[in-house]
Amino acid sequence: MLVDHEVPTVLGRIRVRTDGDGPAMLMWPSLLMDGDLWAAQAAHFADRFTVLVVDPPGHGGSEPLTGGFTFEECATVIEQVLDQFGVPRAHVLGNSWGGMVGGTFAALHPDRVGVSVLLNATASAAGRRQQIEYAAMLRAARLLGGIKPPLTRSVLRAFLGPTTLRARPDVVRAVRTALLRVDVDSASWAVRSVVPERPDQRELFADIRTPVLVVAGDEDATFPVSETRSMAEAIPGAGFVVIDGAAHLAALEAPYQVNALVDDFLAQQRPPGM
């Protein structure tokens, strides 16, 4: 059973939910999502690991954001969470925003990370089209007083692919529920920092020397397979896998496949001391 904690960080108070015992595994979700994105992974790994499920800055039970941030500050948040729990090193699972931050953390803090599994992420700066689309989404959300219909449909199509929209109603309900909980004023700072102000991290990621698996969804319209593959190619020795029938939230859409990929990658790498 996940237990709530509050952790003071450079980006405000962060809610971290913990379960299990053993080597640490930290999980950071996508923009507009909270730690519930990782429910299936937290349940799967808690019998062997101490899972640390993060509500990222400005989301879920974490303190609202009042300004923008850098990915380096997000990596510091991970470091501060590990310090709070007395954890010297952790495996890191990240989806989208979490995948980008997971790469930043691995590059800047190699002594604090075991393996990294980075899903539905990118190392590239945002293109003009993505900047325009997210700016329009935020304007609509402010006018509506939240991410509500008809805007919800547009966000669902950005996050979920045709397979999930057609055949996984439980996932659609979970994402719709999460979107309704979003604090638009707070999330807008995160969106601005992660989309239009996102840096190109490919040069930084070339410094990563710890094991990394990059995972794409073949139906991901936000970061297509080619873009996520480019991220993997920027990381020395990184593995790359595409999950069929998954889009931008693979951990939620295809939990059994993701759990199996993480299990297999951990078995192959066996980082010392973890």
CATH number at residue 148: 3.40.50.1820
Q: Is 194 a member of any domain? A: yes
Between CA 119 and CA 249 the distance in angstroms is 8
Domain count, the chain: 1
Q: Is 41 a member of any domain? A: yes
pLDDT tens, residue by residue, 241-273: 999 999 999 999 999 999 999 999 999 997 666
pLDDT tens, residue by residue, 30-57: 999 999 999 999 999 999 999 999 999 9
Domain span holding position 47: 3-269
Pick from 226, 265, 255: nearest CA to 116: 265
pLDDT tens, residue by residue, 193-222: 999 999 999 999 999 999 999 999 999 999
Using pLDDT thresholds of 50, 70 and 90, give the confidence band for residue 1.
Answer: confident
Peptide bond into 169 cis (omega under 30): no
Between CA 240 and CA 251 the distance in angstroms is 16
Which pLDDT score is estimated for 272? 62
Q: Is 115 a member of any domain? A: yes
Q: Is 274 a member of any domain? A: no
Concatenating the DSSP letter of every residue in 56-73 gives -TTSTTSPPP-S---HHH
Between CA 94 and CA 258 the distance in angstroms is 12
Pick from 154, 160, 180: nearest CA to 172: 160
Q: Is 193 a member of any domain? A: yes
Q: Is 185 a member of any domain? A: yes
